[in-house]
């Protein structure tokens, strides 16, 4: 007979908005090395691919059926699949990436979401809208949308229209590329946030506008605040990259199974953990868990 904890955990796996069945990822093209947008340092392409392989393997370890898309040399940033679609409650919204070089990435993703995953797909009709998935923070109860250099007010309105069952609040982002560069979800009702003045200011705006209350976990580095919480696991940056932040996760979030990984090369192109996958929940598969 299952113990009380096991029953609670099974309920979490079945009911939690952070329970997923699939992930979509994309391999790294050769063009990523020199042509990815926002490169800040020389990228070791072989190392980047090895680190990405570990990332994909980790997604499989936490119970996800991973769909790997081939590298697209015409789109150096194609590894950052998060930006081209937002999936919630079994429905996919195709975004309108804010950088001109990324607009055509949406075309292939439409085919994968419709034909491979058989999801209903919503398209943004407003020609003035821009929306990057990296600016979309879903808490399990509501959306926050970063208004950044990549996402505008019309894009935020398009998201709200696509998922009317959830409150949707725009949050102004300053110098960060995306909202999730400094705040993500590290558990049910737990926001992980960086410690920079800008990150703290963004958190204050979120707390002021939020429909629900959240706990916060602050880490010393903004980039380390970008984590992936799924299926009772927390994928976070390793101590090799951010030792102080890794210690915070070990001390404060030991009730989750921690999965530290290293993504130094992805970071050189302003990429991060959430950037490299689209997480999807297909409810018909949940009967098979446990």
pLDDT at 288 over 70: no
pLDDT digits (tens, 9 = 90+) for 124-165: 999 999 999 999 999 999 999 999 999 999 999 999 999 999
Q: What is the largest CA-CA distance in the chain?
A: 57
pLDDT at 185 over 90: yes
pLDDT at 285 over 80: no
Encoding tokens for residue 149?
A: 């250099």
Q: What is the mean pLDDT of residues 253-262?
A: 94
**Distance from C-alpha of 232 to C-alpha of 258, rounded to nearest angstrom:** 9
pLDDT at 5 over 80: no
Which residue in 150, 170, 84, 72 sits closest to 123, CA to CA?
Answer: 84
Torsion angle of the four alpha carbons 140, 198, 145, 60, in this order, in degrees rounded to the nearest 10: -50
Pairing of strands 65-69, 85-88: unpaired
Among residues 22, 75, 178, 237, which one is catalytic? 178
pLDDT digits (tens, 9 = 90+) for 115-132: 999 999 999 999 999 999
Chain position carrying tokens 């030792």: 243
CATH 3.90.1150.10 fits 17-288, yes or no: no
| Percentage, residues of the chain above pLDDT 90 | 87
pLDDT of residue 174: 83
Long-range pairs for 197-204 at CB < 8 Å and ≥24 separation? 198/174, 198/222, 199/225, 201/174, 202/171, 202/172, 202/173, 202/174, 202/176
Active-site residue, 275 included: yes
**pTM passes above 0.85:** yes
pLDDT of residue 14: 53
Domain extent listing, the chain: 17-288
**Distance from C-alpha of 258 to C-alpha of 228, rounded to nearest angstrom:** 10
Query: Cβ distance 195 to 222 under 8 Å?
Result: yes
Q: What is the mean pLDDT of residues 1-11?
A: 40
pLDDT digits (tens, 9 = 90+) for 56-112: 999 999 999 999 999 999 999 999 999 999 999 999 999 999 999 999 999 989 999
Greater pLDDT, 14 or 241: 241
The rounded mean pLDDT for the chain is 92
DSSP 176-244: SSSGGGTEEEEETTEEEE--SHHHHHHHHHHHHH-SS--EEEE-SSTGGG--EEETTEEEEE-TTT-HH
pLDDT at 209 over 50: yes
pLDDT digits (tens, 9 = 90+) for 32-64: 999 999 898 999 999 999 999 999 999 999 999
Pairing of strands 278-280, 22-26: antiparallel
| Percentage, residues of the chain above pLDDT 70 | 92
pLDDT of residue 6: 40
């Amino acid at each position: 007979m299952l113990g009380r904890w096991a029953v609670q955990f099974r309920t979490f796996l079945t009911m939690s908005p952070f329970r997923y069945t699939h992930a979509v990822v994309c391999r790294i093209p050769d063009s990523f090395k020199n042509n990815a947008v926002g490169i800040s340092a020389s990228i070791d392409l072989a190392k980047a691919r090895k680190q990405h392989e570990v990332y994909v393997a980790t997604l499989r370890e936490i119970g996800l059926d991973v769909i790997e898309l081939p590298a697209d040399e015409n789109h150096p940033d194609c590894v950052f699949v998060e930006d081209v679609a937002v999936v919630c409650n079994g429905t996919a919204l195709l975004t309108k990436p804010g950088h001109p070089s990324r607009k055509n990435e949406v075309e292939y993703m439409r085919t994968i979401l419709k034909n491979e995953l058989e999801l209903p797909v919503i398209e943004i009709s407003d020609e003035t809208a821009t929306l990057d998935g990296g600016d979309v923070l879903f808490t399990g109860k509501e959306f926050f949308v970063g208004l950044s250099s990549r996402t505008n007010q019309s894009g935020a309105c398009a998201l709200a229209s696509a998922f009317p069952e959830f409150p949707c609040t725009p949050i102004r982002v300053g110098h960060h590329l995306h909202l999730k560069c400094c705040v993500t979800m590290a558990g049910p009702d737990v926001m992980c946030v960086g410690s920079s003045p800008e990150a703290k200011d963004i958190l204050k705006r979120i707390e002021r506008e939020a429909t629900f209350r959240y706990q916060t976990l602050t880490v010393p580095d903004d980039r380390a605040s970008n984590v992936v919480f799924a299926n009772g696991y927390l994928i976070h940056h390793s101590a090799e990259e951010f030792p102080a932040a890794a210690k915070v996760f070990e001390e404060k979030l030991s009730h989750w199974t921690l999965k530290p990984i290293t993504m130094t090369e992805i970071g050189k192109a302003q990429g991060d953990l959430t950037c490299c996958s689209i997480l999807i929940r297909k409810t018909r598969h949940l009967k098979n868990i446990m």
